């Protein structure tokens, strides 16, 4: 098994802020560079914390979005009940920096990953993981030491078709096996409808999400009727943060992208606007103009290796009537006859990321911009590449 080797490699990475010898401007950064506006990030975090508190809920933000222990610590300090990670390796990165109370939101089925969970548990970390199969549960039971403790959520599915249990009989069988094992603790359920998050139009998104939650809530209440106790029902995402908050059974929201925002989310529309503007864009890609292939176009040094996109290109908020087009791995093109009159080669332009989560995974650091407009430090993306 290579997981122990990878564990040690991750634990050797930097985790805390790194102060620069002297402050620098964004235009002095080696581009492409991932720039985090600290004030806007903090404002987004405070807004979400106030939102869930006003509705008597908690939030369990997803660290797969940022992969950065410094950000996870800020989220917990703002009142989060814990953080989520998608993979075991991300838990290694976060726990190594002292972040605890972590939920791993993807099931595992291999002994190597279970061995890492057992190692983390032996370090005294408070961990939860989801299961959705007897195979996965059996692997956990085969690999967790008798002196260690691991809490379990059952991952439920309705119609997404990615992970999660659909059969209620399997749910009860899993719970009974968990409760019969002194090393394991059944804590509740996870339900995440990722395919709903980017439905365009608030009304359509609301109808789809609440309909699914209605089905899930019924299944959960059937379990409670069996006399089975649990205290967590977690799910939701940024796209439904102000919709799923209405669901009585939900205890906490697994929101992620709200801290940064990206163009994919802005296009889905908000409750009162055709753009989703509930949170500010705090994360940008600084890129430099390097060539002018034709009138009305300027090539920049940011392409697919510095930005990731499922469906949409980056947005160019700071230049009116300007569009971005991907031009391969290393390059993009800004298109606008109007703004090209003011741009010159060597200028730096900040782009709104197309999809923030996979974009972050392409970078080593956040260059953190403070209120004076200068970069004073960079924050390591410790979990970069932690995909296992």
Q: Supply the pLDDT for residue 255.
A: 98
The secondary structure element, H or E, covering residue 366 is strand 365-369
Give the residue carrying structure tokens 């959520």: 153
The secondary structure element, H or E, covering residue 118 is helix 111-122
Tell me, yes or no, whether 362 lies in a domain.
Answer: no
CA distance 130 to 153: 5
Tell me, yes or no, whether 14 lies in a domain.
Answer: no
Range of the structural domain that residue 152 is part of:
38-262
Residue 311 neighbours by CB under 8 Å, 6+ apart: 264, 354
Mean pLDDT of the chain: 97
Work out whether the CA dihedral 305, 43, 24, 381 comes out positive or negative: negative
CA atoms within 13 A on the CB side of 239: 27
What tens digit of pLDDT does each residue of 258-293 get?
999 999 999 999 999 999 999 999 999 999 999 999
Q: List the beta strands (DSSP E) in the chain.
A: 18-24, 33-37, 58-59, 83-85, 102-104, 127-131, 150-156, 184-191, 232-235, 252-253, 283-294, 297-300, 323-326, 332-335, 348-352, 365-369, 375-380
Tell me, yes or no, whether 47 lies in a domain.
Answer: yes
Residue 203 neighbours by CB under 8 Å, 6+ apart: none
CA distance 99 to 89: 14
What tens digit of pLDDT does each residue of 236-260 get?
999 999 999 999 999 999 999 999 9
Residue 378 neighbours by CB under 8 Å, 6+ apart: 17, 18, 20, 365, 366, 367, 368
Tokens of 114: 């279970």
CA distance 51 to 183: 36
CB contact at 8 A, 212 and 196: yes
Q: Supply the pLDDT for residue 342.
A: 85
In a structure prediction context, what are the per-residue pLDDT tens digits for the chain, which is 388 residues long? Answer: 799 999 999 999 999 999 999 999 999 999 999 999 999 999 999 999 999 999 999 999 999 999 999 999 999 999 999 999 999 999 999 999 999 999 999 999 999 999 999 999 999 999 999 999 999 999 999 999 999 999 999 999 988 889 999 999 999 999 999 999 999 999 999 999 999 999 999 999 999 999 999 999 999 999 999 999 999 999 999 999 999 999 999 999 999 999 999 999 999 999 999 999 999 999 999 999 999 998 899 999 999 999 999 889 999 999 999 999 999 999 999 999 776 778 999 999 999 999 999 999 999 999 999 999 999 999 999 999 999 9
CB contact at 8 A, 380 and 10: no
CA distance 195 to 368: 32
Does residue 367 sit in helix, strand or coil?
strand
Which among 271, 277, 212 has a CA at the least distance from the CA of 247?
A: 212
What tens digit of pLDDT does each residue of 172-193 get?
999 999 999 999 999 999 999 9
Residue 292 neighbours by CB under 8 Å, 6+ apart: 298, 299, 340, 345
Tell me, yes or no, whether 75 lies in a domain.
Answer: yes
Tell me, yes or no, whether 198 lies in a domain.
Answer: yes
DSSP 269-301: --SSSSS--SS---EEEEEEEEEEEETTEEEES
**Any idea what the Cα angle at residue 336 is, between residues 352 and 316, rounded to 5°?**
10
What tens digit of pLDDT does each residue of 313-329 get?
999 999 999 999 999 99
Tell me, yes or no, whether 18 lies in a domain.
Answer: no
CB contact at 8 A, 337 and 295: yes
CB contact at 8 A, 243 and 210: yes
Residue 229 neighbours by CB under 8 Å, 6+ apart: none
Rg (CA), the chain: 22
Tell me, yes or no, whether 375 lies in a domain.
Answer: no
DSSP 1-20: --HHHHHHHHHTS--S-EEE
CA distance 239 to 101: 24
* Number of domains forming the structure of the chain: 1
| Residue 244, domain CATH | 3.20.20.10
Tokens of 203: 């009304």
CB contact at 8 A, 34 and 26: no
Q: Supply the pLDDT for residue 253.
A: 98
Tell me, yes or no, whether 10 lies in a domain.
Answer: no
- What count of other Cβ atoms lies within 10 Å of the Cβ of residue 269? 20
């Amino acid at each position: 098994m290579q997981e122990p080797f990878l564990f040690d490699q991750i634990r050797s990475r930097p985790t805390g802020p790194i102060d620069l010898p002297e402050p620098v401007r964004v235009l002095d950064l080696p581009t492409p560079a991932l720039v985090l506006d600290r004030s806007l990030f903090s404002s987004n975090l405070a807004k979400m914390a106030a939102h869930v508190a006003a509705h008597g809920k908690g939030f369990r933000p997803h660290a797969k979005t940022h992969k950065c222990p410094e950000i996870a610590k800020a989220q917990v300090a703002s009142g989060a009940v814990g953080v989520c990670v998608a993979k075991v390796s991300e838990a290694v990165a976060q726990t190594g920096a002292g972040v605890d109370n972590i939920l791993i939101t993807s099931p595992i089925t291999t002994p190597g990953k279970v061995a890492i969970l057992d190692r983390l548990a032996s370090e005294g970390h408070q961990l939860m993981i989801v299961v959705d199969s007897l195979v996965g549960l059996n692997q956990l039971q085969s690999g967790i030491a008798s002196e260690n403790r691991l809490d379990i959520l059952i991952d439920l599915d309705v119609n997404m078709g990615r992970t999660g249990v659909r059969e209620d009989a399997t749910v009860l069988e899993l719970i009974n096996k968990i409760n019969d094992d002194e090393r394991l603790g059944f804590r509740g359920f996870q339900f995440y409808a990722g395919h709903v998050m980017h439905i365009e139009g608030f009304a359509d998104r609301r109808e789809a999400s609440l309909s699914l939650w209605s089905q899930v809530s019924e299944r959960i209440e059937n379990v409670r009727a069996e006399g089975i106790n649990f205290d967590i029902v977690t799910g939701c995402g940024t796209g439904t943060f102000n919709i799923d908050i209405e669901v009585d059974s939900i205890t906490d929201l697994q929101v992620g992208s709200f801290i940064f925002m990206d163009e994919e989310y802005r296009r889905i529309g908000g409750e009162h606007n055709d753009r989703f503007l509930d949170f500010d864009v705090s994360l940008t890609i600084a890129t430099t103009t390097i060539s002018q292939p034709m009138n009305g176009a300027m090539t920049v040094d940011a392409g697919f290796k510095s930005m990731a996109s499922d469906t949409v290109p980056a947005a160019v908020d700071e230049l009116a009537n300007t569009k971005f087009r991907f031009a391969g791995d290393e390059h993009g093109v800004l298109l606008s006859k109007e703004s090209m009159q003011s741009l010159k080669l060597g200028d730096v332009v900040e782009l709104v990321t197309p999809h923030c989560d996979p974009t972050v995974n392409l970078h080593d650091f956040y260059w953190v911009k403070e209120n004076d407009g200068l970069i004073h430090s960079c924050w390591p993306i410790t979990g970069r590449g932690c995909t296992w």
